[in-house]
Amino acid sequence: MMTNQIDLVEWLAQRLVGADVRIEHHSKTSARVIGDSGQIALFTTEPTLNIADRQIPVILVGTPGDEVPNDAFTDVVDASAGNARVARIVSVALELFELRRIASDQQKGLKRREWEVAQLIETGKSLSAVRDVDQLLALILKKARFLAGADAGSIYVVEGDRDDPNSQTLKFKLSQNDSLSYESSEFTMPVDMSSIAGAAILKKETINIGDVRAIPEDTPYKYDPRSDARTGYHTRSVLAVPMINQVGEVLGVVQLINKKKTSGVQLRQLADFDREVVPMDAACQALVETLASQAGIAIETAFLYEEIQRIFDGFIRASVHAIEQRDPTTSGHSFRVARLTRRLAEVVMDTANGPYAETRFTNAELKEIETAAMLHDFGKIGVREEVLVKAKKLYAPTLKMIRSRFDFIRRSIENDHLHRRLMMIEEGAPKEELDILDQACERAVTEIEDCWRIIRSANEPTVLPDADFERIKEIAKRSYFDIGGQRQGFLTSDEVTSLQIARGSLTSEELSEIRSHAAHTISFLTQIPWSKAMRSIPEYAGAHHEKLDGSGYPKGIKGNAIPIPAKMMAVADIFDALTASDRPYKKAVPVARALDILGLEAKDKHIDQELVRLFKESEVYRILEVR
């Protein structure tokens, strides 16, 4: 029988928190009870009852007719009411409390699942957006630690031939720790059952250790305490989850350490580890395993991307090397221009003043610029090799043919001389007349040799004096009879045109053919299905000979119509062409002189003056000194 309020309060408390209760305070209007699950307060006039942080209906103990709060259980129990009525009301109240508790737990569980799903979706998006393997591994570990509430963790990747397990090794890549900062470096270990990570790989399953100090003796793997001894950290719970790709190959292991009760708490003292570290529970393990499956696919994708990138870079370099082999004298030019251009782009990004103060490039854009610079002469594949390598005004076979022609003329003169001399001897000509004939022959042969020397001198790619032009014309007017008796000129019209080139070694037609390489570059590179990040390569590479005043080629665009990367490329191209090692047709120019020439080109509105200034002041050219 519950004949008073104390009995009722005690009976309610026992039903709600267990048999072990202690009434700390009571009165006609309230009572407070301490139970084994925490503090409980029962009030006759308050709307809620707080039991272990849960809100439940209040059983009001008082007089029928008292005002009942809106959110309280809507009945009043008289302290003198019979047991049956009190028991019925309390029973209903407890059932309602239990239903509310279940609903609350389900709501919390649903919210937790929604949060977990949202986190996994967001993590999947993040992982799919990263292509750099090292950045991806760091992101995977960070996300896994966040989902599990782990204080620390590490990532291992499998290296070696996937088709030959005996050749595989396990490489430690990185670690993260919220409580401790220390330097870690990569190292390699065997893939075997002796380590937790190795066992997770070989078994292809998760290893969950509540406390590494309690690993059974008969377990093949052990925890290596040397890292803890070195850093002062205390490893307790460990979760090692293999990262497996879509075909079942293990790519690595994410290893989480020390799940914490309280997020954000740092583990410093031994007591912190004992108080805060708990085992990785099943829900935590399931989350990390789901993440690891996403990570395996993301890593495989990143590996494939890196492999494709290596193939792409290798193909570009091989193509450039093959093209440069058509003109060995320019070997390395494209690679040097690429390095100079990229370095100039980096300098432009760092400048805080001037017209390029706001210019910035992403890493992908820098890669695009560098690749375009490497391919700037790709169109030379469409230029005849003999034109590319033409070091003299005359092609070597043409010069050889002229030499043979002059040898024929000289021998013809000598043969004619011998024939006349023999006739004069038969006719009894005096010695004086024979001497005159001999002298005439010597003069004629000397003139032929003089003509040859003039031709050889004119063949050099230097600026010819006007007098030499006239001498070439005079030689061209002279003639001889060929072996068939036909009169021929000493030089053909094409040979005269070539020998009268005022500057360099190319005729106007050959110069146009050389210049066509820029148009060929655009045409050829446009045929390649570039990715979005590389789609401007044809435009950049094809515009490196455009000039600010519009006098460049192939399109004659000017000013701001020329892309900034192409302007940078033009500066690098001219500098390297001037300072490159001696070539058959020119001497290398000292750096100081080359910089002066860049200044003159900028003054003439051919190249960008600000870029030339940055190139000089930042000594961009010194990048070529680094190997």
The SS3 assignment for 25 reads: strand
Looking at residue 168, its pLDDT comes to 87
Cβ–Cβ < 8 Å for 167, 161: yes
CB 54 within 8 A of CB 40: no
Residues linked to residue 260 through DSSP beta bridges, in sequence order: 277
CB of 517 closer than 8 Å to CB of 382: yes
Give dist(CA 344, CA 338) in Å, integer. Answer: 10
Length of the chain: 627
Q: Are 375 and 320 in contact (CB under 8 A)?
A: yes
The residue with tokens 């029928």 is 64
Burial class of residue 53 in the structure, from the number of CB atoms within 10 Å of its CB (0-12 exposed, 13-18 middle, 19+ buried) = exposed
pLDDT at 464: 57
Q: How far apart are CA 305 and CA 313, in angstroms?
A: 12
| Bridging pattern class, strands 60-62 and 76-78 | parallel
* 48 and 58 Cβ atoms separated by less than 8 Å: yes
pLDDT of residue 6: 45
Question: How far is the C-alpha of 504 from the C-alpha of 506, rounded, in Å?
Answer: 6
CB neighbour burial string for 524-561, b if at least 16 within 10 angstroms, e if fewer: bbeeeeeeeebebbbbbbbbbbbbbeeebbbbebeeee
The dihedral built from the CA positions of residue 414, 420, 425 and 431, taken in this order, carries a sign that is: negative
d(CA 31, CA 6) in angstroms, rounded, equals: 8
Give the fold, CATH level 3, of 326-387+510-625: Hypothetical protein af1432 (1.10.3210)
> Percentage of the chain with pLDDT > 90?
45
Query: Could you give the dihedral angle defined by the CA atoms of residues 144, 148, 153 and 156, in that order, rounded to the nearest 10 degrees?
Result: -40
As to burial, measured by CB atoms within 10 angstroms (0-12 exposed, 13-18 middle, 19+ buried), residue 188 is exposed
Find the Cα–Cα–Cα–Cα dihedral 298, 288, 164, 305, rounded to 10°.
10
DSSP states along 228-263: HHHH------EEEEEEE-TTS-EEEEEEEEEEESST
Cis before 465? omega within 30? no
pLDDT of residue 83: 45
Q: Which residues contact 360 (CB under 8 A, 6 or more apart)?
A: 349
Residues of the chain with pLDDT below 50 are 1-6, 8-9, 16-19, 21-83, 86
> Would you state the pLDDT for residue 104?
67
Query: Nearest-CA neighbor of 374 among 308, 305, 321, 306?
Result: 321
Q: How far is CA 379 from CA 375, 520, 573, in A?
A: 8, 4, 15
CATH number, span 130-305: 3.30.450.40
Label residue 284 exposed, middle or buried (CB < 10 Å: 0-12, 13-18, 19+): buried
pLDDT at 226: 87
How many whole angstroms separate alpha carbon 191 and alpha carbon 159? Answer: 10
Neighbouring C-beta atoms of residue 329, cutoff 10 Å: 16
Q: Summarize pLDDT for 546-561 with one digit per residue, the tens.
A: 999 999 999 999 999 9
**The predicted structure's pLDDT at residue 97:** 54
Adjacent-strand bridge partners of 172: 156, 187
The Cα 338–Cα 376 span in angstroms is 9
460-474: per-residue pLDDT in tens? 887 656 557 788 889
Which residue is listed with tokens 């009760």? 261
In the beta sheet, which residues pair with residue 388? none
Q: Tell me which amino acid residue 213 is.
A: R
The two structure tokens encoding residue 88: 């019925």
What backbone torsions phi and psi does residue 335 show, to the nearest 5 degrees?
-70, -40
How far is CA 581 from each of CA 121, 287, 330, 395, rounded to the nearest angstrom?
A: 57, 62, 9, 22
56 with 42: CB under 8 angstroms?
no
Contact 171, 157 (CB under 8 A): yes
Calpha distance 472→460 (Å, rounded): 13
Cβ 240 vs Cβ 234: under 8 Å: no
Cβ contacts of 143 within 8 Å, gap of 6 or more:
119, 123, 126, 127, 291
What SS3 state is found at 177? strand
Q: Could you give the dihedral angle defined by the CA atoms of residues 25, 27, 33 and 39, in that order, rounded to the nearest 10 degrees?
A: -80
Q: Return the structure tokens found at 416.
A: 């004619």
- Sheet containing 21-26: order of strands: 21-26, 30-35, 38-43, 49-51, 54-56
Burial class (CB in 10 A: 0-12, 13-18, 19+), 401: middle
Longest alpha-carbon distance in the chain = 176
pLDDT of residue 582: 56
Question: What pLDDT is attached to residue 560?
Answer: 93
Beta carbons within 10 angstroms of residue 394's beta carbon: 21
